[in-house]
Amino acid sequence: MIIRNHLYPTAEQPVTVGADKLTNITLGDLTVGTTYRVSAYVNMDNPKAGASCQLRTGNDRSQPISASGRVVYDFTATATGHGISITSSGCDQIRVLNGICVDVSQWDALTGYKLPANYFNGDTMPKVI
């Protein structure tokens, strides 16, 4: 199976932004009306008490997190390209890394297979190969 990762830049290139800034992460070559799953690790630099961070694509959002960790959320494409924005408070800088965006049916198929141990990076996220 070929994994079609719609996340740019590539999953291996971390993106660092200041709080409440639009990232330069784009989702491209999407099919309008298809539901996609985004999974990315978010590193919150120096979070203060009550810190919060959330990723958003259009009107769809991840659950807020208060410390560094993996964020997963679904969105339905309304155009062939979308961007990811970050809403955050209480931290100096956000780093987004090890991300993937695939359609939900492909995600379900990938997580249902008995794949070799090295196919996953240790955080239940498929590697892009």
SS3 readout for the chain:
CCCCCCEECCCCCCEEEECCCEEEEEECCCCCCCEEEEEEEEEEECCCCCCEEEEEECCEECCCECCCEEEEEEEECCCCCEEEEEEEECCCEEEEEEEEEEEHHHHHHHHHCCCCHHHECCCCCECCC
Q: Residue 109 is part of which domain span? A: 7-113
**Is 21 part of any domain?**
yes
pLDDT at residue 1, rounded to an integer: 38
- pLDDT tens for the chain, residues 1 to 129: 344 555 555 555 667 776 556 566 777 888 999 999 888 888 888 888 888 888 888 888 888 889 888 888 999 999 888 888 887 888 878 888 777 788 888 877 776 766 554 454 444 455 444
Return the CATH number at 46: 2.60.120.1240
**Is 68 part of any domain?**
yes
Q: What is the tally of structural domains in the chain?
A: 1
pTM value is 0.77
